[in-house]
Structure 1
Amino acid sequence: MTLTSLLPELAAHETGSCLVTRGQTALLTYYREEHMADSLAKINSCTKSILSALICIAIDREILPHWDTPISTFFPALLQSSDKRKREITIAHLLTMSAGFRWNEFGGLNSFPVMTKQPDWVSHVLELPMADSPGTVMVYNSGCSQLLSAILRQASGLSTAEFAERYLFGPLGIQNYSWETDPGGNHTGGFGLKLTPPDMLKFGQLFLAQGIWEGQELLSREIVQQALKPALTATAPVQAEYGWHWWISEITGETAAGAAVSLPYFYALGFGGQYIAVVPGLEVTAVVTFDKIKRRSQQVHIFRTLIAPLLLRTL
């Protein structure tokens, strides 16, 4: 059975696009409407994984210091905080969502919607009370991503989008994109980026190739491996391990011969079922986008429940 057998189901779920490749060879190319191949898709929190790559590039190029550097280097006001734990927060803690801020991404007093209503998003996050010691608990937090975007801008002297154009989008041939900013001019670190599905696929293929694109090293193999190393276990918004703004899990199923199999994979996940998934053991990269989110409970699982089982049967 080939992946093209999924076309009726993808259409039934009102999938916007679904692209699957093995290496550079297309296994499935689906667009609900032909123009979607060239149209910008709202990738939501997949933005976080793009930002992570930019932070990796900045560390590789020594534009940013080592990931264990305290963020008070960039936000010295934290040194005056009455809570000493804020002085311990590092770049890595932001990347692994373990900074320790009291935060509820999906509601409550310290939530993502509250941040987006502030005149200064960065100060708002930095001034939040602490709930945990840095590095101990993963709490999904788009505020951490916003701090990373601000740090990258401060360290490089470029906006996050300009940095991306120079070191990531340019080499990948990504020209068509849109990226929101906060009131302070920082590009949104946790959401707000729009890319075409083929360009999302390029990004996943870059990480499948351990940072190499058309013979050029955009990210070092060492930092790619660090970014994809499970750091902490998360329970929300999904149950999985979490690395540097990447989700890390396993796909399980049966081979064509009926043998049980489990393969590790990593993925970027955006609200409403946006996916960039990479299965190194199969050399597979997959992209799923949706522009209709009324049935998101089904959309979020398109890769794991529909695509992954068929991929495993190719073994």
Structure 2
Amino acid sequence: MDPIKLSKLENIIKSEFSNINGIVIVRNGYVAYERYFNGYGPDNAHHVASVTKSIISALIGIAIDDGYIKNEDQKVLDFFPEYVVNADDLQKGEITIRHLLTMTAPYSFEDWQEPLDKMCMQSDWTKYILDMLGQKGNIGTFKYSTAGAHLLSAIISCSTGKSAREFANERLFKHIGMKEIPNYEMKSFGFDDLFGKNVKGWVSDQKGNSTGGWGLTLTPRDMARFGFLYMNGGIWEDEPIISERWIDESITSHSQTIINNSVAKYGYLWWLLEDKGIPTYLALGDGGNVICCIPEKDLVIAIASEFIMNPKDRRILINEYIVPAIIE
């Protein structure tokens, strides 16, 4: 990468993307750029919000590889035999893991108006989500759901006997050079508890399930490691961590929605976009937390940010300043 063009990034980030606290750029398997801002450093973990969903996707894949889950077409209710389904809600029994992974399960809330705060105040998040699941709408229609990702976390707990955090520490994180992620039990439900600085480790619900759609803290280097693992076909230092089949399925379009008047495709809890004709897959979290993988350029970009409302689109930084710094 062109060091002169990369050297201009610092001023651009400070002036136009001021809530970015850390950025790591990996090209051809090597760290090409790493900078920290606003008093943060390489060891500071950030709440990466919905980037957590893409981690959950990886864990579902590993659980399938390990035989804990049959496949992504297994019915959700298989994992919750104690749950009683109403006779007038038979659609619920047809919903599969694949529907949760692709955001194509129906729920009672309107699209993009999910009552996350209400869910967090329930004594049993899983039952609350199962009650919502299958209500209104049709299976196969895209509806973004953090609750659905949490249900996947509960499925990991039911199938493996470990929380998603414990399973991730054992089967994913330690294998790619990450430190063990501690558990964090949320005590209150204010803004910083749900989105900001009060989030530590990996949040769990009252039943011990790790939050599936948010609540995980990672360093920018951790984020870059995870992105590189996907770029490398699930292999880390010659050790297979995630099957190549799962990664291929995860970054293949299975559903789509409209965002800002443009079509956005969706894989298995990964966003699939094209910028100037270049395919890109991304783990995206509120506030501007991003793991961006561009296979055609052998490029991984990890950005950790302080949560603010309506941050400037990180794709502007990536497409206008980072990608042009590549030396072909």
TM-score by length of 1: 0.89
User: Is the Cα–Cα contact under 8 Å of residues 96 and 242 in structure 1 kept in the other structure?
Assistant: yes
TM-superposed CA distance for 1:114, in Å, is: 1.6
Query: What are the equivalent positions in structure 2 for 1:72-91 lying under 5 Å apart?
Result: 72-76=77-81, 77=83, 79-91=85-97
Instruction: Kindly provide the amino acid, as one letter, of the partner of residue 302 in structure 2.
Output: V
Q: How much does 1:83 deviate? A: 1.5
CA contact under 8 A between 1:72 and 1:78: conserved in structure 2? Answer: no
Residue 182 of structure 2 corresponds to residue 167 of structure 1: no
- Trace 1:112-131 onto structure 2 (pairs within 5 A): 112-128=116-132, 130-131=135-136
Determine if the alignment matches structure 1 residue 241 to structure 2 residue 278: no
Distance in 2 (alpha carbons) for counterparts of 1:47 and 1:57: 15
Equivalences for 1:1-315 in 2 at 5 Å? 2-12=5-15, 13-14=17-18, 15-33=20-38, 35-76=40-81, 77=83, 79-104=85-110, 106-107=112-113, 111-128=115-132, 130-134=135-139, 136-177=140-181, 178-236=201-259, 239-252=263-276, 262-293=277-308, 296-298=310-312, 301-302=313-314, 304-313=315-324, 314=326, 315=328
Equivalent residues of 1:102, 1:130 under 8 A apart: yes
Does the Cα contact within 8 Å between 1:78 and 1:86 map onto a contact in 2? no
1:259 alignment partner in structure 2: none
Closer, same or farther: CA 70–176 of 1 in aligned 2, 3 Å: closer
Which secondary structure does the structure 2 equivalent of 1:16 belong to? strand
| Percent of aligned pairs sharing the same letter | 31
Q: Given that residues 20 and 27 in structure 1 are in contact (C-alpha distance below 8 angstroms), is that contact kept between their aligned partners in structure 2?
A: yes
Cα–Cα, structure 1 residues 141 and 174, in superposed 2: closer, same or farther, change >3 Å?
same
Partners of 1:78 and 1:87 within 8 A in 2:
no
Q: Decide whether aligned partners of structure 1 residues 288 and 154 sit closer, same or farther in structure 2, where only a CA change above 3 A counts.
A: same
Separation (CA, whole Å) in 2 of partners of 1:35 and 1:279: 26
Shift of 1:36: 2.2
What amino acid maps onto 2:103 in structure 1?
Answer: M
Counterpart code for 1:276:
I
Contact kept in structure 2, 1:40 and 1:176, CA below 8 Å:
no
Q: Is the 8 A contact 2:169 2:180 kept in 1?
A: no
Tell me how far apart the structure 1 counterparts of residues 272 and 322 of structure 2 sit (CA, whole Å): 18
Q: CA deviation at 1:188?
A: 0.2
Deviation at 1:273, TM superposition (A): 0.4
* Residues 52/78 of structure 1: CA separation in 2 closer, same or farther (3 Å cut): farther
Q: SS state of the match for residue 222, structure 1? A: helix
Give the deviation of 1:123 after TM superposition: 0.6
Shift in alpha-carbon separation, 1:133–1:266, aligned structure 2, 3 A: same
Distance in 2, Cα, partners of 1:225 & 1:81: 38
- State the 1:160 CA deviation: 1.1
Where structure 1 has 5 or more consecutive residues not aligned to the other structure, the ranges are 253-261
Please report the RMSD computed on the Cα atoms of aligned residues, expressed in angstroms.
1.9
Deviations 1:127-165 (A, max 9, x none): 12612222x211110110111011100100111111001
Query: Match of 1:38, SS?
Result: coil
- Contact preservation (8 Å) 2:287, 2:305: yes
Amino acid at match of 1:291: E
Q: CA deviation at 1:182?
A: 0.9
Residues 288, 307 of structure 2: 8 Å contact kept: no
SS in 1 for 2:284: strand
CA contact (8 A) 1:72 1:79 kept: no
SS of aligned partner of 1:36: coil
Deviations 1:85-138 (A, max 9, x none): 11110010011111111234754xx5222211211111111112612222x211
Cα deviation per residue 1:259-283 (whole Å; 9 max; x = unaligned)?
xxx2101000111000001000000
Equivalent residues of 1:179, 1:194 under 8 A apart? yes
C-alpha contact (below 8 Å) 1:19/1:26 kept by paired residues: yes
CA positional deviation for 1:37: 0.9
Structure 1 residues 8 and 100: CA distance shift in structure 2, 3 A: same
What is the identity, as a one-letter code, of the residue corresponding to 1:10?
I
